[in-house]
Chain A
Amino acid sequence: MRTILQAENLTKVYRVGSVDVPALRGVSLDVEEGEYLAIMGPSGCGKSTMLHLLGGLLTPTTGSIHIDGEDLTAATDAKRTDIRRRKIGFVFQRFNLFPTLTAEGNLKLAESIHGGRDGKKGGDPERRREVLRLLQLEDKMHHKPLELSGGEQQRVALARAVVNRPALILADEPTGNLDTENSAIVLNMFQEMNYRFNQTIIMITHNPEAAAMCRRIIQMRDGQIVAPGPRVQI
């Protein structure tokens, strides 16, 4: 099996004024292709910090990260952005869609950024159709985010993340802003992406039911992993 993510001994210290705030205190983590991993832990224990490090939005104070064979920590800022463009899809608690663009416009923007210098500006229409069908968004394509429910917006955000076939999806409390019903729908969709596309997913969640749908659960406390759960084979 292919290793998608290799993080070794990550630490992260934020500097606030003259005070050092340690957010991560030595975290190591391997994730294989097709894994669906939940990260749980109390607020402020460093979950988001770790996710941002894994996606190259932040650089660790020490430690190393390899994504799909590429060294993220040794890379320049531009190179990290490039790795993120090719390998990572983010899903946030706040959906983070472009409010001026329709659902389709949001997808196409992501596709055009992903196409980048490789010239595949038009994206892959077949892939887009399949993703939209699986996420049951076909009839919402021409709606703007404000015309969609929270659950629908998060499904568009998930579609935007998976449409470019990223090696890894990083989701930070994707159901944190949703009611129970919509949470269930969105979680089903995550699972669907994992099953159908063998999509590797790391998801931060407070929701035990959400975590229960994952194949592995990691517990964090005070910037450290306290309970690396066993891998579940399906």
Chain B
Amino acid sequence: MESLVTANVRQRPVRALVSAAGVALGVCLVMLFTGLARGLSNDLERRSQNLKAEIVFTRDAGSTQLMSNAANLPVKYAEELLKIDGVAMAVPDIRYVSQGGKGFGFEQVEGVDWEQFAAMNGMSLVAGRGPQGLDEVVIDETKARNNKLSVGNELKLFGNQTYRVVGVYTPEAGPRVKMSLAAMQDALQAPNKCTWVYVKLKDPGRAVEMARKIDEALPGNKIQLTRDIITNIEKSIPYLGVFLRTLVGLSALVSGLVVMLAMYTTITERTREIGILKALGASRGFIVGEIVKEAVLISVIGVAAGFAVSFLAGYVIQRAYALPFEYSWLWGLTAALIGLLGGALGALYPAVRAANLDAVSALAYE
């Protein structure tokens, strides 16, 4: 048998759909933002974790330099570092944030000697060769897949300079586009300079001790443990948690208000029916229950639609802009609860109002 609840929803399909869309919007907000935040930070972390150097040696003592464009450290420090006992490799590196490309409109590019970098991190080419000329780059497999690039294709960096893809490597580590150190120095007009030097130790277990030793040998520079930089990624976005919680709160508010408005209009519309329910002896609890059930049904539809749209939009955005989305069960559950609770709570006020209507005047309502 069709209940009053489903009959009412079917009676006003547009109203039900618009309210469900409001709930879906809240769910989408939560899913897409948390999915993107997780995707970006996991992506960054994965690529950082594949860096096998234990220590990062920089001149600037001010920032973590993950997004720095400065190349102000003389390359000759690499030679000095190699002289220190216990250092296995010292690889100078430039990181540069380049305009253009997909994603947020900028991406990191790295200038490093490919042979040394690959040896240090256990990376290998799956196609082509390492970068040699000043206009050659290698890219990782993700970049190749997302941008549909392969050996021989061209891409633009630093605004409008054309580079040629000569190789594709795996696994991903650091920026997805790499050129030779010389090419980067040429592009930035910073001869003999680098951003930092990757230091690989003979004994990875002695990283703290070696950091102190390097600091004594070459004082006045910044010596960071790679694992500290990785944890700093999360700390470097300290308000992310606050932002996400605010977003979740706003989503709940949107869902609640949309459902409240829908239920509010529906109650005015059905004043006489509420009078009939009262004449039939329906308790206040019954009347509140029917209205909240209707809101929950609408919310369930909205939550389902919200998930469907989130996954679809996430997939399309990932395809078009190479932004990684990673959904979590916990946030999914949160989004669903927000949709359902927002809807139910939004319906509560109109429902209680309906239950409080005077039966005789409700029956006389035109």
Contact = CB atoms under 8 A, between A and B. Distances in A.
Nearest to A172: B363
Given A81-B281, A90-B280, A110-B280, A57 B1 contact: no
A84 B281 contact: yes
A98 B4 contact: yes
B278 interface: yes
B127 interface: no
B1 A116 contact: no
Contacts of B272: 96
A100 interface: yes
A65 to B, nearest CB: 16
A96 B363 contact: yes
B280 A85 contact: yes
Interface residues of B, number: 23
A78 B283 contact: yes
Interface in B239-270: none
A206 interface: no
A100 B283 contact: no
A110 B281 CA distance: 9
Interface in B279-295: 279-284, 286
Contact of B10 (A78, A86, A100): A100
B2 interface: yes
B273 A98 contact: yes
Q: Say whether chain A's binding surface is mostly helix, strand, loop, or mixed.
A: helix
Interface in A51-96: 52, 55, 57-58, 78, 81-82, 84-86, 88, 90, 92, 96
A109 interface: yes
Interface string A99-115: 11110110011100110
B281 A114 contact: yes
A206 B4 CA distance: 34
Contact of A105 (B7, B278, B283, B284): B7
Contact of B282 (A85, A86, A99): A85
B239 to A, nearest CB: 49
A122 to B, nearest CB: 10
Nearest to A55: B279
B279 A96 contact: yes
Contacts of B10: 100
Contacts of B11: 99-100
Contacts of A110: 280
A109 B283 contact: no
Interface string B145-188: 00000000000000000000000000000000000000000000
Contacts of B7: 98, 100-101, 105
Contact of A78 (B4, B277, B284, B363): B284
A55 B280 CA distance: 10
Contacts, number: 69
Nearest to B284: A78
A101 B277 contact: no
A116 B4 contact: no
B313 interface: no
Contact of B276 (A86, A96, A108): A96
Contact of B279 (A82, A90, A101, A104): A90
B138 interface: no
A140 to B, nearest CB: 16
Interface in B87-122: none
B296 interface: no
Contact of B8 (A84, A88, A100, A116): A100
B283 A81 contact: yes
A100 to B, nearest CB: 4
A113 B276 CA distance: 12
Contacts of B1: 104-105, 108
B271 to A, nearest CB: 12
A90 B363 CA distance: 12
Nearest to B9: A100
Contact of A81 (B275, B278, B363): B278
Given A57-B363, A58-B360, A101-B2, 17 more contacts: A57-B360, A82-B281, A85-B281, A85-B283, A88-B281, A90-B279, A92-B279, A96-B279, A98-B4, A98-B7, A98-B273, A98-B276, A108-B1, A109-B280, A113-B281, A116-B281, A116-B283
Q: Nearest 8 CB-CB pairs, A to B?
A: A85-B281, A100-B7, A84-B281, A100-B11, A57-B359, A90-B279, A96-B276, A113-B282
